[in-house]
Structure 1
Amino acid sequence: MIKKLTLLFIFSTVFFSCKKEVKQENQKVNVVTTTSMITDLLHNIGGDAIEVVGLMGSGVDPHLYKASEGDVSKLVNADVIFYNGLHLEGKLVEVFEKMENQDIKTIPVAEKLDKNTLIGSDYFASNYDPHIWFSIENWKIISQYVVQQLSSADPKNATTFETNGKIYLEKLNELEKKLNSTITTLPKEKRILVTAHDAFNYFGQAYDFEVVGLQGLSTATEAGVQDVQKLANFIIEKEIKAIFVESSVPKRTIEALQAAVRSKDHEVAIGGTLFSDALGNPGTKEGTYIGMFEYNVNTIINALK
């Protein structure tokens, strides 16, 4: 029966039945995050000084994610909530609005970015592409913003957050150099990235790739037969060697595209699985933002060379 209740009714029920625990003087700040990218970022900057609870694990699609009663309980007991914003977590927007009304600090990390640097999109109510983590420059800005917000929420650990933030920025700078070196090995005319949905526009902008997604920016938009045929013709025309599956999107969409190309007496390989809207499994290299980005780039370059 609980699944049939509306999200707001679930929130109201959980909020009024759960009393937020009184925080002891030495108790850690309780942080709740949405996507796995943001969870990883908070672990890097907060370290052992905070408690982090992530709502979305590996392989989870934030576009379609719905909060469970257990999730709302976690949100109610948070001191600070970090989420992407720009309507990436579209089905959670009403919940976050309720949180603000209940004096729980909610922080959309995208709000720190200059709107002039964002890629426009008619698919989202924000009118911007929310896949901001595929720009390392964006992630640097957001990292510094998280340092500021954590320091405000927990001043006694501000020095720790600032130190961790500087270390993480150095790692992002190293990642950027490594990726630039790898990507320059692929000629510009071969830099065409075809994926299940259009999550890589910031990546394309940063590294001069033409990016084409079968499902558009949001996985809530289904690809039709005409979309598949049109993209199949594009692949043949551009002589694209490989297309890519995404970990958070069903494989069948890309397999259908591959079959459509084959039906026209051409071949295109599936170059591998990319991590787009979620990181890999915890404990793996791809389970971190830095590891995910490096893995994606190596997979793309190796398949398209």
Structure 2
Amino acid sequence: MSPEFALSRRAVLAGMTALAATPVWAQAQLQIVATTGMIADLARQVGGSHVAVQGLMGAGVDPHAYRQTRSDIVAMTRADAVLWHGLYLEAQMEDVLADLGRKRPVTAVAETVDTSLLVAHEDYEGRFDPHIWMDPDLWALCVPAVVDALAAQAPELRPTFEENAAAFIAEARALGTYSTDVLAQVPRDQRILLTAHDAFGYFGAAYGFEVLGIQGISTESEAGLNRISELVDLIVARKLPAVFVETSVSDRNIRALVEGAAAQGHTVRIGGALFSDAMGPDGTYEGTWLGMIDHNVTTIARALGADAPAAGRLGKLVGTA
């Protein structure tokens, strides 16, 4: 057992011992802790006014590298339920979440999706690309797990949770239709999405884009000089007009591609910043899953030649390229 895990485990146990049990029915709202912003948003959409949701990872935070803090552990031990993504997205937290799950209601939401619908990891047997929120149809499949997790704590509210879930799924489908329509306007030879790491595989499969990441599925993988050189040559040969940075990943490698292409006489611009593993700031449209995907789709479409509305599907986007 590593010293870090031992410390985290002791903190979990201490939090459990110190927690005075409060019946769920006595609380004004269910107290929910979610790891990622995307999961936190799902809980808010399904739970509505009946839940108070604390997301551990805010805007610009990379879940692949995130390590829990002491305050995170206290929050999780005091929550009525803990929701996390799973599929090895929160790799550094898995031991703590597994330990907590023996004492508290803990749900790995994305791991309830049929693995036949997931993309297997090229390098690790039994692991899958976790970035399923990039495809609205796949993300909608996570909703029932959130309904069940909340209803387990407040069974009398299940009809309300199911009604909220149905409304959210309808919005997700509408967003999927918008995405299909605007991305279909991108010329076929321009449907190449090059970003900092390989987070857009499900997006590419859903909308017919070739997706290239400098790093692999996890941002913990390294991008070597050979990979940079290969991608520069591809950008020049295929005359890519734009590449994209990500809000939760350093833009250093993307800027190296731009400079490398310029050295070979081809100008490629940065088409905008995409939300990959984290959403926008709390309290903004882009700080919701619907706004996050609307922003990404609209930014990609406009940068690659489509006539998409600058303010997105609902006219709520701010600052889209």
Alignment TM class, shorter chain as reference: over 0.9
- Contact 1:123/1:218 (<8 A) preserved: no
Structure 1's unaligned 5+ residue stretches are none
- Residue in structure 2 matched with residue 92 of structure 1 by the alignment: 93
Cα distance in 1 for residues equivalent to 2:98 and 2:160: 30
Q: TM-score, normalised by structure 2?
A: 0.90
Once residues 191 and 8 of structure 1 are traced to their aligned partners in structure 2, the CA distance between those partners, rounded to angstroms, is: 48
CA distance in 1, matches of 2:206, 2:272: 21
Q: What do residues 222-261 of structure 1 show as CA deviations (whole Å, max 9, x unaligned)?
A: 2111110000011111111000000000111111111111
Q: Which residue of 2 aligns with 1:206?
A: 206
Counterpart of 2:11 (choices 5, 10, 13) is 13
Q: Could you tell me how far apart the structure 2 residues matched to 1:128 and 1:224 are?
A: 23
Query: 1-side partners of 2:219 and 2:302: how far apart?
Result: 26
State the distance in 2 between where 1:297 and 1:123 align: 29
Compare 206-215 and 161-170 and name the one that shifted more: 161-170
Once structures 1 and 2 are overlaid, which stretch shifts more, 121-130 or 203-212?
Answer: 121-130
- The range that moved more, 83-92 or 47-56, is 47-56
The answer for the alignment partner of 1:287 in structure 2 is: 287
Deviates more, 1:272-281 or 1:104-113: 104-113
1:86–1:124: 8 Å Cα contact kept in structure 2? no
Three-state SS of the structure 1 residue aligned to 2:161 is: helix
What amino acid maps onto 1:275 in structure 2?
F
User: How far apart are residue 189 of structure 1 and its match?
Assistant: 2.1
State, as a whole percentage, how many aligned pairs show the same letter.
37
In structure 2, the partner of 1:51 is 52
1:23 and 2:22 are equivalent in the alignment? yes
Map 1:120-159 onto structure 2 (within 5 A). Answer: 120-123=120-123, 126-159=126-159
Partner residue in 1 for 2:236: 236
User: How far off is 1:10 after superposition?
Assistant: 3.0
1:78 partner letter: A
Deviation at 1:74, TM superposition (A): 0.9
Matching residue's letter, 2:203: F
2:230 maps to a residue whose letter is K
Q: In structure 1, what residue type is equivalent to 2:204? A: G
- Structure 2 Cα separation of the partners of residues 81 and 300 of structure 1: 33
Deviation string, structure 1 residues 67-109 (Cα, Å, up to 9, x no partner): 01111111111221111111000000000111122x2121111
Distance in 1 between residues matched to 2:125 and 2:49, nearest whole Å: 36
Q: Which moved more, 1:231-240 or 1:142-151?
A: 142-151
Residue 180 of structure 1: CA displacement? 1.3
After superposition, give the CA deviation of every residue in 1:261-300 in whole Å (9 maximum; x if it has no partner).
Answer: 1122211100010000000011222111111111111111
Superposed CA deviations along residues 185-222 of structure 1, whole A, max 9, x for unmatched, are: 11222110000000000000000000000011111112
Please give the secondary structure, in 2, of the residue aligned with 1:85: coil
- Following superposition, the deviation at residue 123 of structure 1 comes to 4.8
- Kept in 1: contact 2:131–2:202 (CA 8 A): yes
Unaligned runs of 5+ in 2: 306-321
CA distance in 2, matches of 1:78, 1:301: 40
Q: Distance in 2 between matches of 1:112 and 1:246?
A: 27
3-state SS of 1:249 partner: coil
Give the whole-Å Cα distance in 1 for the aligned partners of 2:14 and 2:151. Answer: 30
Does the aligned pair in 2 maintain the 1:31–1:51 contact within 8 Å? yes
TM-score scaled by length of structure 1:
0.94
Matches within 5 A, 1:151-230: 151-230=151-230
Quick check: 1:38 aligned with 2:36? no
Q: What is the Cα deviation at residue 125 of structure 1?
A: 6.8
Letter in 2 for 1:176: G
Deviations 1:24-72 (A, max 9, x none): 4331322110110111111111111112111000100000000011111
Match of 1:259 in 2: 259
Deviation at 1:15, TM superposition (A): 2.5
Structure 1 Cα separation of the partners of residues 12 and 257 of structure 2: 44
Equivalent in the alignment of 2:109 = 109
Range with bigger deviation, 151-160 or 245-254: 151-160
- Aligned residue number for residue 81 of structure 2: 80
Higher mean Cα deviation, 243-252 or 115-124?
115-124
Is the CA contact (8 Å cut-off) linking 1:261 and 1:267 kept in structure 2?
Answer: yes
Q: Does the 8 A contact of 2:239 with 2:266 survive in 1? A: no
Q: Which whole-Å CA distance do the structure 1 matches of 2:194 and 2:123 have between them?
A: 19
Counterparts of 2:138 and 2:18, CA distance in 1: 37
8 Å Cα contact 2:137/2:173 also seen in 1: no
Question: 2:14 corresponds to which letter in structure 1?
Answer: F
Contact 1:86-1:125 at 8 Å conserved across structures: no
Alignment match, 1:67? 68
